[in-house]
């Protein structure tokens, strides 16, 4: 029997989200067509937009459907940067090296191909940003900063950042703030309307929708430059035939995730705390990467003296699926860039295991992991699997 505890990489599709997808797929028509078939599918698309807007607490005109979080992040980062060059050069971007690579890589691409200077915000070992440095940079470079891009919840450690404060500080200087909210949306209280953000990214397969759909929520006051040009769909920000089956599935999953969020996350936090207590009892050498302000369904440990990939392999042999952090680096395991940015050394950042819970997680799953980890850790130590 297999145990899946890698919900932060992807979580099972919710049955109602699957039903919505299949029902929409049965309808024929291009949402941009003016005939009856087209109007029918357009109605499904706009129904999805309205449902998602309610879940994110934003205006329905602010919902721009994408293929997922990576596309949404690229649209926001490159689009805002290019838009902000139109009246005068603004070449600074503020971000953090604890971001997902779907944020770091577009910023580094701009650094390589445009005249961009990146201010990487320091992060301490609790996973929290240095807001005094952030304030100093806003004061010193305010008129030269194109945008700020900082995530709401860290996908590896679960650390929660005070995005409303971060946005409010930047807004004093008229600087748009984008947040990768992929690990946050549907898992913690979010109101785009109240956040002060210019844009935030979400991804369906973290919520119980199929892989391949997400959204960028973009304030009506903002108009980033599009990455994809064509028919001018989605406010001219994302041209292409609009994917109404995926959109409806995303909206349905989002509605359900927000509706059961408080009860679900409270239940998962109890299970997470139980898991952490049992791991630390069975493997006293293990270290929690952070505590404090963090999401309820994510646990992150360092297992000294071994490599993450060795533990992942041995756990997989016992039917337990977890990760060493983000699953989005083309299957290549390396030291966690998040832990390195938090001040951990290379050996520690290469010995991390992330356990993430989801809507299907049970106490039996927790037991399966805690029983397996003590065995495989001892096996890895005995075998000298530290390189």
Please confirm, yes or no, whether 328 is among the known catalytic residues: yes
pLDDT digits (tens, 9 = 90+) for 139-169: 999 999 999 999 999 999 999 999 999 999 9
Tokens of 177: 């703030």
Specify whether the CB–CB gap between 102 and 179 falls below 8 A. no
pLDDT digits (tens, 9 = 90+) for 354-381: 999 999 999 999 999 999 999 999 999 9
Give the Å distances, CA to CA, from 121 to 90, 99, 240: 18, 10, 36
Residues 6+ apart with CB under 8 A from 319: 1, 2, 3, 368
Percent of the chain with pLDDT over 70: 96
pLDDT digits (tens, 9 = 90+) for 351-361: 999 999 999 99
Rounded CA gap, 83 and 174, in Å?
Answer: 14
Strand duo 145-149 + 117-120: pairing: unpaired
Tokens of 98: 């604890």
User: Residue 304: which H helix or E strand, with range?
Assistant: none
pTM of the model: 0.95
Give the closest residue to 148 by CA, choosing from 157, 158, 159, 135. Answer: 135
What separation, in Å, do the N-terminal and C-terminal C-alpha atoms of the chain show? 30
- Bridge partners of residue 288, in order along the sequence: 301
pLDDT digits (tens, 9 = 90+) for 165-205: 999 999 999 999 999 999 999 999 999 999 999 999 999 99
Specify whether the CB–CB gap between 98 and 127 falls below 8 A. yes
Q: Which ranges in the chain belong to alpha helices (H)?
A: 15-25, 36-56, 69-83, 101-113, 131-141, 163-171, 192-195, 244-259, 261-282, 308-317, 337-341, 346-349, 363-383
Tokens of 221: 């006051």
DSSP state of 145: E
Catalytic site residue from 328, 379, 381, 385: 328
CB atoms within 10 A of CB 309: 14
Q: For the chain, what is the mean pLDDT?
A: 95
Phi, psi at 299, each rounded to 5°: -125, 140
289 burial type by CB count under 10 A (0-12 exposed, 13-18 middle, 19+ buried)? buried
Four-CA torsion 132, 136, 137, 141, nearest 10 degrees? 160
Specify whether the CB–CB gap between 107 and 252 falls below 8 A. no
Q: How confident is the model at residue 383 (pLDDT cuts 50, 70, 90)?
A: confident
CB atoms within 10 A of CB 331: 6
């Amino acid at each position: 029997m297999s145990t899946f505890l890698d919900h932060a990489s992807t979580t099972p599709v919710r049955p109602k989200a699957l039903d919505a997808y299949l029902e929409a797929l049965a309808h024929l028509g291009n949402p941009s067509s003016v005939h009856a078939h087209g109007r029918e599918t357009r109605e499904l698309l706009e129904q999805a937009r309205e449902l998602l807007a309610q879940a994110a607490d934003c205006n329905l005109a602010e919902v721009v459907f994408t293929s997922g979080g990576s596309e949404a992040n690229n649209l926001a980062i490159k689009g805002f940067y290019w838009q902000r060059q139109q009246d005068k050069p603004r070449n600074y971007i503020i971000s953090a090296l604890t971001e997902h690579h779907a944020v770091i890589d577009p910023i580094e691409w701009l650094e390589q191909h445009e005249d961009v200077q990146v201010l990487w915000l320091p992060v301490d070992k609790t996973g929290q940003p240095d807001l005094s440095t952030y304030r100093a940079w806003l004061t010193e470079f305010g008129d030269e900063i194109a945008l700020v891009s900082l995530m709401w919840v860290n996908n590896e450690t679960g650390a929660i950042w005070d995005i409303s404060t971060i946005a409010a500080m930047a807004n004093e200087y008229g600087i748009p703030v984008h947040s990768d909210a992929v690990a946050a949306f549907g898992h913690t209280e979010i109101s785009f309307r109240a956040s002060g953000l210019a844009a935030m990214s979400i991804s369906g397969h973290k919520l119980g929708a199929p892989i391949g759909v997400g959204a960028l929520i973009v304030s009506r006051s903002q108009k980033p430059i599009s990455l994809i040009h064509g028919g001018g769909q989605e406010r001219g920000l994302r041209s292409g035939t609009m994917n109404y089956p995926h959109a409806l599935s995303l909206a349905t999953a989002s509605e359900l995730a927000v509706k059961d969020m408080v009860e679900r996350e409270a239940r998962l936090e109890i299970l997470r705390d139980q898991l952490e207590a049992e791991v630390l009892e069975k493997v006293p050498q293990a270290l929690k990467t952070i505590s404090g302000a963090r999401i309820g369904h994510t646990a992150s440990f360092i297992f000294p003296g071994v490599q993450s990939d060795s533990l992942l392999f041995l756990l997989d042999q016992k039917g337990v699926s977890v990760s060493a952090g983000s699953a989005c680096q083309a299957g290549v395991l390396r030291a966690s860039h998040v832990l390195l940015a938090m001040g951990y050394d290379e050996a520690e950042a290469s010995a991390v295991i992330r356990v993430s819970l989801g809507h299907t997680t049970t106490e039996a799953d927790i037991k399966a992991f805690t029983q397996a980890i003590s065995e495989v850790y001892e096996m890895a130590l005995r075998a000298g699997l530290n390189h």
